[in-house]
Amino acid sequence: MPGELRTTYADAALFLGMNSADEATRTACKSFFATRLHGRVVMSLEQVGRCDDLVWRFPRELQDAYYPFMDHLHTDMRIDRLGYTREDIGAGLGAPATAGLPVHEQLLAGMVLHRDGVLRSVSPRLLARRELPVLAPEPGPEVAFPDDLEKLYRASLALRIPHERLWGED
């Protein structure tokens, strides 16, 4: 699989995609995380915050259904949450390949470029930038989490996020 020898980064769109209202997106994003449960993924602190920001916009009862799964996944899986460095910021804001993207996507792309990683995302803006190391999650049949985590995941599906809200407007 291209890019798998490089560090894999995930954005908020991919993470929240596990709860997408679009079934193809949901299964691809969920399977991405389920198959890497014992691996390593990196998320910027900002992208983790973007997940919370969107979830907190839904009613409390949906948040309560969602957060036990998210909490357990962040504990059970090695998700390294990293802040941007000056070099990441410079690479993102100074790269011609990121021109015109929202600042949060420029910064994330800079982190990935500077650290020679590969980003997994469902953001159509990022996926359209062929010069950036961005890949969509692989489509295919849904892969399950281990039983206890799968039960929490199924409960989290009370929260279904409209597909176009996954990557944000700005």
Query: In sequence order, what are the beta bridge partners of 38?
Result: none
Query: Tell me: the pLDDT tens digits for 110-161?
Result: 999 999 999 999 999 999 999 999 999 999 999 999 999 999 999 999 999 9
111 neighbors 90 (Cβ within 8 angstroms): no
Other beta carbons less than 10 A from residue 117's beta carbon: 16
Distance, CA of 138 to CA of 108 (rounded, Å): 21
Mean pLDDT across 64-86: 96
Residue 3 pLDDT? 44
Q: Walk me through the domains of the chain, giving residue ranges and CATH numbers.
A: 8-160 (3.40.50.1010)
Specify the pTM: 0.94
> Per-residue pLDDT for 4 more than 60?
no
Here the tokens at position 8 are 């894999």
Q: How confident is the model at residue 169 (pLDDT cuts 50, 70, 90)?
A: low
Give, rounded to a whole angstrom, the gap between the first and last alpha carbons of the chain. Answer: 31
Pairing of strands 8-10, 118-120: parallel
Q: Encoding tokens for residue 50? A: 């973007």
Q: Which of 25, 27, 28, 73 is nearest to 48 (CA)?
A: 73
**Within the chain, where are the H helices?**
12-17, 23-35, 45-55, 60-76, 86-94, 103-114, 124-127, 147-156
